[in-house]
Every structure is written in C-alpha cells, then in structure tokens.
Amino acid sequence: MTSRYQVRFVKAIHNFCYRRFNCTIQRNYSKEDVSKSNIKHLVENSASFAEKDPETDKWHTPVYPKNQRLQSNKSFRPQVDPSTTSVILFPGQGSQYVGMAKSLLEYPQVKEMFDCASEILKYDLLDLCINGPEDMLNMTVHSQVAVMVASLAAVEKLRAETETDINNCVATAGFSVGEYSALVFAGAVEFERAVRLLKIRGEAMQAASDLEPTGMMTVFLQPWAKIKQACMEAQRWCEEQTIFNAECKVAIYLFPDCKVISGHLEALKYLESNAAKYGIKKFKYLPVSGAFHTKAMKPAKKVLEKALNATPFEIPLIPVHANVDGFPYISVEQIRKKLADQLCNPVRWEQIMHALFERKQGTSFPSVYECGPGTSMKSILRFNNNLAYQKCSNILA
C-alpha cells in the first residue's frame, strides 16, 4: 500500500511561487533500496574507474587584478539591488547533535517531513534526532539523512519568519551532503527521492569506510605550509609500514590556510607527529570514520552512480553551486555526474564562497542564511568574506 504526504518546500526565484509536490512512499523500492549486505558485496566486487589527478591538491585564492573578480563569473548575478536578495547555505555531516529539530516541530510541514523520511528509512528519524543516542546519530548511515531533513525543516522556520527572503533567494549551496539539501530546496529533486539517495549514499560510504581504518582531520596552516608534500610523505611512510595504497589528500578547502585532510589513520597520525615540519599550526580530528572525498570512496561511488542514474532530476529553479568545481548546475546530467564525483573529489567550499560573494568595493551584499544544525557555515564564511559574514544569520535546526 502506498501512503501519500503533501510536503511543501520553497523553491523560488524572482517571480516563481511556492510549488507543492507529492511525497510518495514506496514500501518496496526494489532497484534503489540496496540492503547493507548487498552494498557490502558491491563494495568488495566493484570495478575501478579512471580518474585524473588534479595538477595540485591545494586550491589557492588567486591574486585578482585590480577591479576584476574572476570567481564571481561563476555565479548568477541578477540586475537588482543585491541587498534585496538572499543566499541560503546548508551544512553537512558533522553538524548533527542530539536534540536537533525539536524546536522546529511547531512549524508547518516539519513533523510530516520527518514522518515521510521515517517510512522510507524504516526507523523513527525524529526520535533519533531528538533523543539519540549520540553514537547512533553520528553513524554515517544515519547522520547524512538526519542533517538533510533537519536543514529543510529549518527552511520552514525561515519561511514562517521571513518569506520574502526565500522568494528572493538567488543562489544556494550545501556543504558535502548539504548539497542534497540545496538541490531539494531548489526544486531539482523531490524530497522523498533525496531521502532514498542519502539512505543508499550513507550505507555505501559506511561500507567503504569499514574496509580500512580511515578518518579526516582539519588542519590550520602556516602561510608557508607544505601540505601536498606532507600528504605525499605520509603516504610514503605508510608504505614503509607495509600499508599500501593508503590515501592522504586534501578533501575540503575551507578557507585560506585551513583545509581538511582525509586518509588512512596511520597517515593522519604521521601528520600529527610531524605537524611543525610541514607548517601545520594545529589540527583536529573530525567525528567521522571514513576518508570522505578521496579515492577511498570509489566503491561507494559505484553504488551511488546506479542510484543517481535511476533518480529523476530537474533543472534547479535557482542556481545550486556544485562542490566539485564551484559552478552552478546547468543540466540534469551534470547533477548526476557531479554528485557521484563529489564522493572521490575535494569539496571546494572556499571557491564557492568566492563565486557567491566576491564583488566590487561598495557593492551591497545579499542577506545570507545558514539553514540547519550548528553554525559551521557562518563561521567558515567569516574567514572567506567578512562582509558577507556580517550579513549572515543562522536558522538553527
């Protein structure tokens, strides 16, 4: 039996109005609803794919010529006063916490959204978000979809408080798994399909992570830091310890002199022990169990590609900037390809922030909203563009 929910999200640009869509719950999702055991089998037997390595694994903020803003060419700039527009950002995995979304239940659609997701997932997502336990919520198989639903619930709060800023939204972006939140918000994929995708994505990434002891580490760097050399020598050190094909790469570009490194735990320990040598001022391990956004996720990519190819997408109603290159999506084919590529390639968040917020001196800034659990996106924005940061507000989940 199929049960239906009318789940409304705001997907507006200029004169677009709210659009309702059906959230159809399929109890038997034969092609896309892959069980953990099937995913494990796919991970262990998946074929490899060819991928070119970038020329460098460090994305530098370029020195722009006077009166020229190169990165801003990547963003859509309507011919209106920027101060009358808005940009909405969505956080990623790691922002979740026990108790999130509880304060949002008073807003329309929120409980219905969680009920819809829970039927697909076959567990009570709202109870997990509100009551935990924390170790269960932090598992990749749970946290990704939890963050997305909580983030879209925060959009309902924003709509209730300032509908104009949603109607006037001219761009959106999401950090890692937050890109799915942005795509749902922009009308590119239905809510229920995004939940199914993240169920598969989370299970596949968890299975890939279980193959090797891997993790992620945020590093704060000296201006002279040699991070590429550090990663290469960490890999070489792993080989000397008979740990072959160990990953150690920049996985996320947060802001100048701050990156996230993904890799084998022994490689990360090498960086920890030799931090001063490579110009690492301080570091912090992230509460994740995988080397996300590196080739360690190749098995998960294979699984996700199948699900993406079976999922209907539409051109976003507002520009959604992709993690892998900072450019807004222009086709359905791009959405499928870049979402799959995101698993094995760095998140270029610093580049996205430049694309969205670089502007000539004296130009107004849009209102900026971070919708979702935590305040990480606003904190990162401060180090990329302080003027945009001053216009940023948190709509907490």
Which of 329, 338, 347 is CA-nearest to residue 188?
A: 329
Specify which residues 284 forms β-bridges with: 218
Mean pLDDT score across all residues of the chain: 85
As a whole number, mean pLDDT of residues 305-309 equals 98
- The whole-angstrom separation of Cα 371 and Cα 174 is 10
The C-alpha R_g of the chain, in whole angstroms, comes to 20
Residue of 72 and 394 predicted with greater confidence: 394
CA distances from 289 to 62, 105, 138, 301 (A): 33, 31, 10, 17
- The whole-angstrom separation of Cα 176 and Cα 323 is 7
Whole-number pLDDT of residue 14: 30
Please write the tens of the pLDDT for every residue from 186-213. Answer: 999 999 999 999 999 999 999 999 999 9
In terms of Cβ atoms closer than 10 Å to its own Cβ (0-12, 13-18, 19+), residue 28 is exposed
CA distances from 168 to 81, 88, 216, 272, 307 (A): 11, 10, 36, 45, 32
Sole residue written with tokens 């909405």:
88
Whole-number pLDDT of residue 47: 30
Whole-number pLDDT of residue 5: 37
- The whole-angstrom separation of Cα 113 and Cα 152 is 9
Whole-number pLDDT of residue 73: 55
Cα torsion 351, 175, 140, 26: sign: negative
Which residues are known catalytic residues?
176, 293
Contacts (Cβ under 8 Å, ≥6 apart) of 305: 336, 340
- The whole-angstrom separation of Cα 67 and Cα 338 is 32
Cα 308 from chain centroid (whole Å): 16
Q: Is residue 378 over pLDDT 60?
A: yes
Cα 396 from chain centroid (whole Å): 17
Number of residues that make up the chain? 397
Please write the tens of the pLDDT for every residue from 55-71. Answer: 333 333 333 333 434 44
Q: Is residue 287 over pLDDT 60?
A: yes
pLDDT band at 81 (very low <50, low <70, confident <90, very high): confident
Specify which residues 88 forms β-bridges with: 172, 369
Helix (H) or strand (E) holding 171: strand 169-174
